[in-house]
Amino acid sequence: MNTYNWYSQLKKQKWSPPSWLFGPVWSVRYVLIFISFGKEKAERNMANSRVLELVAGHFKVPVNKVRIVNGHHHPSKLLVAEN
């Protein structure tokens, strides 16, 4: 089933945004969510622990299932959350 054809054939309200706007808006929205979610101050040298707690809470997994792959000593981090 081609979802683009399916969506384009739906009856939509006059105020509905055009379909081409969906991708850019949601991409920007998720980037902003990630930026606001990922900022944590380095208080008492516990920033990495706090980031792990936040990510674990967001994905509803135990903290021991989240690990930092890259960026232990840098504000930008690469994380993995396992099931």
Q: Which two tokens stand for residue 70?
A: 């890259």
Q: For residues 83 and 61, is the Cβ–Cβ distance under 8 A?
A: yes
**Better-predicted residue by pLDDT, 65 or 32:** 65
- Per residue in 8-48, pLDDT (tens digit) is 788 888 888 887 888 899 898 888 877 766 665 666 667 78
Rounded (10°) angle between helices 47-59 and 22-38:
140
H/E run at residue 28: helix 22-38
Entry pTM: 0.46
Q: Is 40 helix (H, G, I), strand (E, B) or coil?
A: coil
H/E run at residue 33: helix 22-38
Arithmetic mean of pLDDT over the chain: 80
